[in-house]
Chains A and B, each alone.
Chain A
């Protein structure tokens, strides 16, 4: 089955930039979507189709892709950005079709 690998944790100081990577075989050929999940809350879409931002999501959140890695970048990090972040793709060969990454806990120092 298709696997998306994320670092378990990322720590960042307020005002700095956090980069969360998502690696997968041939991910360059797939559209990548990102979700933020704060403790005790439902996930929220923050980036779709690699780099598009839903209305209401701050411009500080951006997405990119290069080679076999997609990246979610959070600029000027705020305390409220502390959350788990998941990448996701569609893979019609996988036993789960809609595949989520392993998740990254972002801690604001």
Chain B
């Protein structure tokens, strides 16, 4: 059974940093493309970042230069380093596998940016 478990969310002040993690199990993590998708409270879904099996990486314009996606295949883990956080980054952050569409999703971790 595919499982994705996010962690690392919390309350942070504007300008601060957080590192999110996503622990994967139940599939061969190293060959899968992975994504971060976020959802602001009461709002819709926004794709954030993508990394594939050979570390080709893309970002949404809204986070480019501030967020860094990475993966550790030995640990079956996906990461999102978030710097220079803004109020508008407040959201639930989901990790998701993808083959274009997002096949499996974790339960998400809440990031709140507030002073």
Interaction A to B: no
Interface on A for B, CB 8 Å cutoff? none
Interface on B for A, CB 8 Å cutoff? none
